[in-house]
Amino acid sequence: MFGGLRENIMKNSEAPTILVTGATGNTGSELVKILAARKIPFRAMIRKPKDAQSLVDLEGIEIVTGDFNDPKTITEALFGIERAFLLTNSSEQAEAQQTAFVEAANRAEVKHIVKLSQWAADADSPVRFLRYHAAVERKIIDSGIAYTFLRPNLFMQGLLGFRDSIVNQNKFFAAIGDAKISCSGLQT
């Protein structure tokens, strides 16, 4: 048993060299659908075994449970992996969790990390989550692992929170002044 649960439901014999963290979240679930549709073998890291149900029918998937607060499960999830998609919840623990992941990825000789970061990530930002994204980006750069930083500004799905004002007033409100916002969509 690997990380509490390891489901090898590969529909081909090729071992996965890609790890997707956050595989059942909004972004990760779309990414795993794309990999499966392209028949690219991958390993999906989930926190709870019950979350596996939403993934079991995807082609090329190997499911492993992992907890960003449990270094052993992260090490096990990274075994044999060459490329990793790094995404955690945006919480007060995110910087420490992602930093530990980068350190484990370095020990596992991961060759490339794709990190879902944030537009305007900056170590000097007054905004906590922009500082932690910048700190993790710096950790990845300093590790020597090749990287790609994805820095979306706003996911269109986030606009659903403005549903009532859009429907009732034909507008939505945000404290952005004259700032321009770029929107990205997640769905394939």
Pairing of strands 83-86, 61-65: unpaired
Locate tokens 């509490």: which residue? 4
Q: pTM for the complete prediction?
A: 0.84
pLDDT band at residue 8, thresholds of 50, 70 and 90? very low
pLDDT of 159 higher than 90: no
Domains of the chain: 6-151 (3.40.50.720), 154-188 (no CATH)
Max distance between CA atoms of the chain, in angstroms, equals 55
Summarised one tens digit per residue, pLDDT across range 36-69 is 999 999 999 999 888 888 898 899 999 999 999 9
Q: Assess contact for 25 and 77: CB atoms under 8 A.
A: no
Rounded to an integer, what distance in angstroms lies between the CA atom of residue 95 and that of residue 117?
A: 11
**Crossing angle of helices 94-107/71-78, nearest 10°?**
50
Residue 7 has pLDDT above 50, yes or no: no
Residue 80 has pLDDT above 60, yes or no: yes
Burial of residue 170 (CB within 10 Å: 0-12, 13-18, 19+) is: exposed
Inter-CA distances, 22 with 17, 91, 111, 142, 175, Å:
16, 14, 19, 24, 29
- Band of pLDDT at residue 140, cut at 50, 70 and 90: very high
Higher pLDDT pick, 58 / 9: 58
Residue 60 per-residue DSSP state: T
**Cβ-contact 72, 28 below 8 angstroms:** no
Percent of the chain whose predicted confidence (pLDDT) is above 70: 91
**8 A C-beta contact, residue 2 and residue 43:** no
Q: Are 98 and 74 in contact (CB under 8 A)?
A: no
pLDDT band at residue 9 under the 50/70/90 scheme: very low
